[in-house]
Structure 1
Amino acid sequence: MTWKTIAKDILIYILKVLVVILLVALAFIIGTMIGYSVIGEAGDPMDVFNPEIWQNILNYIF
């Protein structure tokens, strides 16, 4: 193997890891929006990004 193919393989591996991290983050965001608005019947799905909501959730947990 040459350094060029090794660098290419490493770059492809890093890109795959970044895509997986992006998909997990996207699934988390969509899941919280659905869980808050549809399952929780709280209304607007964009309200899930309100910091006061997250503070309330953290206070409930701890």
Structure 2
Amino acid sequence: MTWKTILKDIAFYVIKVLVVLLLIAAAFIGGAMLGYSVIGGAGDPMDVFNPELWQHVLDFIF
């Protein structure tokens, strides 16, 4: 194996990890928006990004 091959393999691995993390983040955001607006019936899906909503949720947990 040459250094070029090793660096190429490492770069490919890092890209795969970043893509998986991006897909996880997209699934979380999409699921939160879907759950809040469609399943919960609360209204606008963009309200999920409201900090007061998350503070209210955390008040229930703690």
Unaligned runs of 5+ in 1: none
Q: Point out 4+ residue stretches in structure 1 off by more than 2 angstroms.
A: none
State the TM-score, normalizing by the size of structure 2.
0.99
Aligned to 2:22: 22
Aligned length: 62
Identity of aligned residues (%): 73
CA RMSD, Structure 1 to Structure 2 (Å): 0.3
Q: Secondary structure at the match of 2:42?
A: coil
**Alignment map for 1:24-39 (pairs within 5 Å):** 24-39=24-39
State the TM-score, normalizing by the size of structure 1.
0.99
